[in-house]
Amino acid sequence: MAVGSASEVAAGCRSIVLSLPDSGVVGSVLGEVEAGLSDTRLFIDTTTGDPDDTVGCSKRLAEAGHDFLDASVGGSSKLLESGQAILMVGGDVDAFQRSSSILRAIGERVFHVGPAGAGIRMKLVFNLVLGLNRAVLAEGLAFASRYGLSVLQALEILEAGPSYSRAMDAKGRKMIARDFAPEARLSQHLKDVGLILAAGEGCGAQLPLSILHRQLLEQAESLGFGAADNSAIIESFR
């Protein structure tokens, strides 16, 4: 049932799941709903945002008597729909245990990874590796094509040997067919890489591959593929 505002949703629900574009939108929505709540609510935020902003939201809600979990989703919308995505959850252990039925309705496997903000921090690690898997697959397929080889056979051989990654299952044939119908948008991953690099700068991590990855994503976006599936990164190698 649709309602007129986020406040109406919060007033009628004990548990609220958020899935929003970024931390700024999360803060705005929470600011709208929390003032009118007189008893405890559980907020589960699946947004990939800024971990520091998430910690701030968690503290503010805790002071008002509410529970907050950052439950980052690992996997595309297609995997989520088929029940194959995972969840990386940060927040209070008791709140995590009480919300297990909701979390397991979202993700096939659920991991509690630490206090508030840890779910998003782990998602950034997850997205770093997953995104680079896609990028190297795109480079390899583009190389095979330029080298006069069968791209389909190259993908088959890559899938058969130790170079295999699950990114090949999800994106390999999309790249070859230039089927960029969005399952996860390229610009959204570019936003995530920006968060990864900001986090790396903050903790002193060296992330040279992610710097290059951002450049490749920016190039694909400049070619008009920002709203396309993130497999469109292969366009940066053509």
- The whole-number average pLDDT for the span 2-28 is 86
Which tens digits make up the pLDDT trace of 71-119? 999 987 777 888 788 999 999 999 999 999 999 999 889 999 999 999 9
Contacts of 150 (CB under 8 A, 6+ apart): 144
Closest CA to 73 of 100, 105, 48: 48
All domains of the chain in start order, with CATH: 6-116 (3.40.50.720), 123-237 (1.10.1040.10)
What sign does the CA torsion over 112, 114, 115, 117 have?
negative
**What separation, in Å, do the N-terminal and C-terminal C-alpha atoms of the chain show?**
46
Closest CA to 173 of 186, 157, 155: 155
Share of the chain above pLDDT 70, in %: 100
Q: Residue with structure tokens 């070859």? A: 176
SS3 of residue 223 by DSSP: helix
- The whole-number average pLDDT for the span 196-205 is 97
Under the banding of pLDDT at 50, 70 and 90, the label for residue 1 is: low
Distance CA 24, CA 55 (A): 13
| pLDDT of the residue at 46 | 94
Distance CA 211, CA 193 (A): 8
The neighbour count for residue 97, using CB atoms within 10 Å, is 10
Share of the chain above pLDDT 90, in %: 77
SS (H, E, C) 181-205: CCCCEHHHHHHHHHHHHHHHHHHCC
